């Protein structure tokens, strides 16, 4: 498969996210690896995805499981070798799958050679490669900025007698993106992987790259200002409006060098993560504005602790239409950083099996008909719930530091259940995987669902195949349609028009249809059509209907 077969493949792609430690273990040590991913790529292809995004597998002390990079150009041995990675890319391409890999360019590990040199003195060649600042007059941190993982965002270094900025763990010092040498070095890192055949990058916390050089304090959050989408209710990080480090306007201007790199490799894509922003959709729009920033970005606008409402989704789509020049955004219900969708929504525990199955299929259909691309996190196609772990089972430093107020990310990172067999569920031959496999996940195993035509996994397969065949979904147009209070309705496409109707309530609803529409049974989850046809359209609780213009 050539990169240039379809240079704009990313605009409407379905990207399957793989968390390497938890996807498939080929060598029996209880930790997933690159060889395991390669062996399971056929599953991803059969599912119907266009690309895989693989979380970090490069050299790292693993304080944050790969997001603390000590060498950008080599593979951490627990995951394999560069030869294993090359074999993975080659196999993916033979299956028609593109490969995106994580690039963690906001920070490094404190064990990276760059930081070891930077902290050695104030006048060495890399002295300004990280964000250093003198103490406040009282000897404390320079300002009140907080780290996302808890505590001050500043750590004291006894050699330089200065503080360094770390927006995440203390072992993850922030790079100084204002230094052109830093940006040039990172561009060379990108070139290294592009030359190995990758089709693009997912840029970790891309809206954190710049900081306020005045080091002004962040203001406290007013009591009447809601927390951002995806923010845990009890997370003290969001007691402040973190404008000193998050979604700075300077960041967007710096992205031109990243885009120039990708443009030198036609058919590749830069997918940015928008994290911890006050308005994640607005920040995503800034990240992709024009032709000298990122190609696309994903954000937390669909990551909610509360069930979606038709009104809330209408407002979201209105904002998208007003903010984006074109829908260059990637939608997702969750990633390795958020509780599982079915763990967030209590709805999934209150309804009978038929209603729950309709809700599962409604959510899948909704994700797949929104304009742009979308990301599906491993296991969500199985309907995995959030695994409940005891404190002694936790591995996530964020979860450990904030327990029990915030349970962290381990519950969404437990291994994939490929089979229902104990103890390794087809993930590993080891007696104990790195995180336990939840007992409630075994009945949802891939082997069981593949054999059940009515399973959620097979529903996803059918919907992904259906999506690929819809010309309306390759056109950018979305036009909202008036509907009842609990119903979200919009049209997709221009030359090829599609009507999408979603009942976001467990109660039945009615939607009036103008003439000339024909129901699409493949993507609709209605049990039967009313005797009188489509007008009015009767929607059961969490029913959805897709229709095409005759």
DSSP state of 239: G
Mean pLDDT of 282-307: 93
Statement: residue 258 has pLDDT above 60: yes
Tokens 């059961």 map to which residue? Answer: 540
SS (H, E, C) 163-174: EEECCCCCCCCE
DSSP state of 340: -
- pLDDT tens figures, 193-217: 999 999 999 999 999 999 999 999 9
- pLDDT tens figures, 357-413: 999 999 999 999 999 999 999 999 999 999 999 999 999 999 998 888 887 899 999
- pLDDT tens figures, 155-177: 999 999 999 999 999 999 999 99
Gap between the terminal Cα atoms of the chain: 36
Tokens 């996807």 map to which residue? Answer: 23
Statement: residue 302 has pLDDT above 90: yes
User: How far apart are alpha carbons 376 and 387 in whole angstroms?
Assistant: 18
Contact at 8 Å (CB) between 130 and 164? yes
Confidence bin at 353 (pLDDT 50/70/90): confident
Residue 81: partners with Cβ closer than 8 Å, 6 or more residues away? 34, 75
Statement: residue 140 has pLDDT above 60: yes
Angle between helical axes of 82-94 and 34-47 (0-180°, round to 10): 10
Confidence bin at 233 (pLDDT 50/70/90): confident
In our burial notation (b when 16+ CB lie closer than 10 A, e otherwise), range 61-89 reads ebbbbbbbbbbbeebbebbbeeebbeebb
Catalytic residue numbers read 204, 273
User: How far apart are alpha carbons 359 and 502 in whole angstroms?
Assistant: 10
pLDDT of residue 423: 85
Cis omega (within 30 of 0) for bond into 252: no
Count H helices and E strands in the chain, helices first. Answer: 13, 20
User: How far apart are alpha carbons 380 and 345 in whole angstroms?
Assistant: 13
The number of CA neighbours under 13 Å toward the Cβ of 35 is 14
Contact at 8 Å (CB) between 59 and 71? yes
Cis omega (within 30 of 0) for bond into 174: no
Mean pLDDT of 437-466: 97
User: How far apart are alpha carbons 225 and 33 in whole angstroms?
Assistant: 43
pTM of the model: 0.97
Q: Which of 372, 230, 364, 193 is nearest to 297 (CA)?
A: 372
SS3 393: helix
SS (H, E, C) 207-240: HHCCCCCCCCCCCECCCCCCCCCCCCCCCHHHHE
SS3 535: coil
Statement: residue 349 has pLDDT above 70: no
Confidence bin at 347 (pLDDT 50/70/90): very low
Residue 138: partners with Cβ closer than 8 Å, 6 or more residues away? none
Contact at 8 Å (CB) between 241 and 172? no
User: How far apart are alpha carbons 376 and 44 in whole angstroms?
Assistant: 11
Picking from 67-71, 317-321, 342-346, 490-494, which range would have the lowest pLDDT averaged per residue? 342-346
Show the domains of the chain with their CATH numbers. 3-108+179-467 (3.20.20.80), 109-176 (3.90.400.10), 477-549 (2.60.40.1180)
pLDDT of residue 149: 93
Confidence bin at 526 (pLDDT 50/70/90): confident
User: How far apart are alpha carbons 378 and 260 in whole angstroms?
Assistant: 31
User: How far apart are alpha carbons 190 and 184 in whole angstroms?
Assistant: 10
Contact at 8 Å (CB) between 15 and 52? yes
pLDDT of residue 346: 53
Confidence bin at 530 (pLDDT 50/70/90): low
């Amino acid at each position: 498969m050539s990169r240039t077969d379809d240079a704009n493949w990313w605009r409407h792609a379905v990207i399957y996210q793989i968390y390497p430690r938890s996807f498939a273990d080929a060598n029996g040590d209880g930790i997933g690896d690159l060889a395991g991913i390669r062996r399971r790529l056929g599953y991803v292809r059969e599912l119907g995805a266009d690309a895989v995004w693989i979380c970090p597998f490069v050299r790292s002390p693993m304080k944050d499981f790969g997001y603390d990079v000590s060498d950008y150009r080599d593979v951490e041995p627990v995951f394999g070798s560069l030869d294993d990675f090359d074999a993975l890319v080659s196999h993916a391409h033979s299956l028609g799958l593109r490969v995106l890999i994580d690039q963690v360019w906001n920070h490094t590990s404190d064990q990276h050679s760059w930081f070891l040199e930077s902290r050695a003195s104030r006048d060495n060649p890399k002295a300004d490669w990280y964000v250093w600042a003198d103490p406040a007059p009282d000897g404390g941190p320079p300002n009140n900025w907080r780290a996302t993982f808890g505590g001050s965002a500043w750590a004291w270094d006894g050699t330089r007698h200065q503080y360094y900025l770390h927006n995440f763990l203390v072992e993850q010092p922030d790079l100084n993106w204002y230094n052109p040498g830093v940006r040039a070095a990172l561009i060379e890192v990108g070139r290294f992987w592009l030359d190995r055949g990758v089709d693009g990058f997912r840029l970790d916390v891309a809206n954190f790259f710049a900081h306020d050089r005045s080091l002004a304090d962040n203001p406290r959050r007013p009591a009447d200002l809601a927390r951002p989408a995806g923010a845990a209710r009890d997370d003290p990080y969001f007691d402040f409006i973190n404008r000193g480090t998050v979604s700075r306007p300077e960041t967007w201007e710096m992205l031109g060098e990243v885009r120039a790199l990708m443009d030198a490799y036609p058919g590749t894509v830069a997918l940015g993560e928008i994290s911890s922003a006050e308005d994640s959709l607005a920040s995503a729009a800034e990240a992709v504005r024009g032709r000298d920033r990122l190609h696309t970005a994903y954000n937390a606008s669909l990551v909610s602790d509360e069930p979606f409402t038709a009104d809330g989704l209408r407002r979201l789509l209105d904002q998208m239409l007003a903010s984006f020049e074109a829908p260059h955004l990637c939608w997702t219900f969750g990633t390795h950083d958020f509780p599982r969708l079915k763990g967030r929504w209590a709805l999934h525990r209150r309804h009978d099996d038929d209603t729950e199955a309709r809700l599962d299929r409604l959510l899948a259909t909704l994700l797949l008909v929104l304009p742009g691309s979308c990301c599906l996190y491993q296991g969500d196609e199985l309907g995995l719930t959030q695994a409940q772990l005891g404190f002694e089972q936790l591995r996530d430093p964020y979860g450990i530091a904030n327990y029990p107020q915030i349970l962290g990310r381990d519950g969404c990172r437990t291994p994939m259940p490929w089979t229902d067999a104990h103890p390794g569920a087809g993930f590993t031959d080891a007696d104990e995987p790195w995180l336990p496999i939840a007992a409630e996940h075994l009945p949802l195993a891939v082997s069981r669902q593949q054999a059940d035509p009515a399973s959620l996994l097979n529903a996803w397969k059918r919907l992904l195949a259906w999506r690929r065949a819809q010309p309306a979904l390759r056109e950018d147009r979305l036009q909202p349609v008036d509907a009842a209070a609990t119903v979200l309705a919009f049209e997709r496409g221009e030359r090829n028009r599609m009507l999408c109707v979603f009942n976001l309530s467990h109660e039945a609803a009615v939607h009036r249809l103008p003439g000339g529409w024909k129901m699409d049974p493949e993507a609709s989850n209605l049990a039967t059509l009313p005797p009188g046809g489509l007008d009015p359209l009767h929607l059961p609780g969490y029913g959805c209907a897709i229709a095409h213009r005759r």
